[in-house]
Amino acid sequence: MNEKELILEAMKKADEPLNAGKVAELTGLDRKVVDKAFAELKKEGAIVSPVRCKWEPAEK
C-alpha cells in the first residue's frame, strides 16, 4: 500500500474531515510525506475540503 492509499484509508476510517497533522499522526507518516500526498490527491480530485484546512475523501 502506498502513501496515498494509506492516507485515504485513514481518512475514511476517521469519518470526519482531518488536517494534515492529524493524518500524519494516524498513519505514522512524516508530515512532509503527508503534505506531498495531499497535493497529489487534491490534483486528482480524490480529496475535498468541506472546512477550511481540513480534508476528507471525495467519495465516502
User: For cell 475540503, what's the residue?
Assistant: 49
CATH class of 3-57: mainly alpha
Give how far the C-alpha of residue 48 lies from the chain's centroid of Cα atoms, to the nearest Å.
Answer: 9
> What is the predicted pLDDT for the residue at 59?
80
Task: Please write the tens of the pLDDT for every residue from 5-49.
Answer: 999 999 999 999 999 999 999 999 999 999 999 999 999 999 999
Q: How confident is the model at residue 1 (pLDDT cuts 50, 70, 90)?
A: confident
Domain residue ranges in the chain: 3-57
> What is the predicted pLDDT for the residue at 49?
95
CB 50 within 8 A of CB 17: yes
User: Quick check: 55 pLDDT over 90?
Assistant: yes
CA 17-31-8 angle, to 5 degrees, is: 40
Q: Inter-axis angle of helices 20-27 and 3-14, to 10 degrees?
A: 100
> What is the predicted pLDDT for the residue at 60?
62
